Structure 1
């Protein structure tokens, strides 16, 4: 899927929903995902400490962010309505932006993560640029989660574990057709 307009509209619509339920706003309502458990696993994999500065790429309304305790949290998302909702609900520092063009200076954050968004990217080129941007702004480590090997939706971008040879590969947290990766800088 070369055009992200379909997914952008999906996420803009989610952000305009009047609910305050982060599970619904961030699209976990139709899955078996336990967001609190996912956050706990990301914290463990990245060894997030309260003294860390963290960037969450594709942060949505803050489903994972609500569980991240750190010195400095910043989120970025391409949905203006979800950015607004995230700020409303959690009062975090969140900006509107694209994963493949992060506005931050090199080595701004101790750790950077993205969960459950890479399958919404339009193509592998966009995904590679997003990874390069995450590496550029991170000082210590990067986590990318919920990468599908296969999917029930033809609109989802798929990934191959062989494309992550320099990364630690971890089984998916709730879906056996997905995997996670960690990169230490």
Structure 2
């Protein structure tokens, strides 16, 4: 069995490697193929290997690397590499009807069709054996996948003292202290001002923000509980689309790498509008993902599947709901990510702006 995974050492829980190892121990040939999506992943690959080398050393399955992986996972790539199963972060083209997929160890791939009457979407190829492998990650069926379950599982399954394992940056050299300082500089924070951190998680970045006047909001109860226990900070387990605060309650509202996990653009936009509502001065949204960050363009991702909610820079000049936000280059991840800033007094501190269409 050939298993293709993107960013497996950083993006997935130890349970995945343990289960693959158990399958290999039971006499089944297993080859783990690691794909890296783009250049910055390749640069960080040595760091990632160092972090997980002790796991690889004990694996009974064979490990190989494909770097970089194709920008779009194609049927020909699957066939050429003789891949049996692929993780849930990668998608293939398939008809909207998923009934032809098998639900056992022998994964059947739908053939892509060009017939316009049978619209093609990208769907996760995590059927068959991966249904069991990814149970700990919250992955069940393509029509019931939920980021909420994934983040709750991260909070329950990982070491609460290692906040990197509780984030989406567990396989990178992302430095939270550096980014927290850049945040404070970007919003022109002055000592004594209040900060609301939306999507604070277990405090990976919040640990480096000023304690006085800090409030965190986190949708996952398990991550919020870990943050409270670790730091004794004010953290509220709450959906960010309905913030429990009066208008203008905080001097600054910040959010980093959170909107991509919202259930679609309408929810993400509602969240940003809520952040605008409760901010007195500034809203800073960092690490927004673009389609370049995903293996398949957003328009091919089937609704309800395990996908990220993606924005493009020009969304902030074309969408009335995002009026007032100005974009700047991302601080991490190259062209695949960018930042958005909103100031109520219209004094904007950004590196690059995109004018609204006239």
Aligned-partner Cα distance in 2 for 1:167–1:4: 33
The structure whose RCO (Cα within 8 Å, separation 6+) is larger is 1
Match of 1:71, SS?
coil
TM-score (norm 1): 0.93
Aligned to 1:137: 278
Aligned-partner Cα distance in 1 for 2:144–2:214: 26
Shift of 1:170: 1.7
Aligned-partner Cα distance in 2 for 1:6–1:38: 28
Match of 2:316 among 150, 164, 172: 164
Q: Which has the larger radius of gyration?
A: 2
Shift of 1:56: 0.5
Write out aligned runs for 1:66-81 (5 A). 66-69=207-210, 71-81=212-222
Shift of 1:152: 2.9
Q: Which runs of 4+ in 1 moved over 6 A?
A: none
Do the aligned partners of 1:110 and 1:139 also contact (CA within 8 Å) in 2? yes
Spell out, residue by residue over 1:1-26, the C-alpha distance to the aligned partner (whole angstroms, 9 max, x if none): 9x896211111111112331111112
Structure 2 residues not aligned, in runs of 5+: 1-122, 124-142, 296-300, 302-306, 318-323, 345-358
Shift of 1:32: 3.3
TM-score (norm 2): 0.49
Aligned length, in residue pairs: 184
Do the aligned partners of 1:4 and 1:120 also contact (CA within 8 Å) in 2? no
Write out aligned runs for 1:58-73 (5 A). 58-69=199-210, 71-73=212-214
CA RMSD of aligned residues (A): 1.8
Structure 1 residues not aligned, in runs of 5+: none
Write out aligned runs for 1:1-185 (5 A). 6-16=146-156, 17-69=158-210, 71-150=212-291, 151-152=293-294, 155-165=307-317, 166-176=324-334, 177-185=336-344
Judge which range, 64-73 or 103-112, deviates more: 64-73
Match of 2:146, SS?
helix
Do the aligned partners of 1:48 and 1:70 also contact (CA within 8 Å) in 2? no
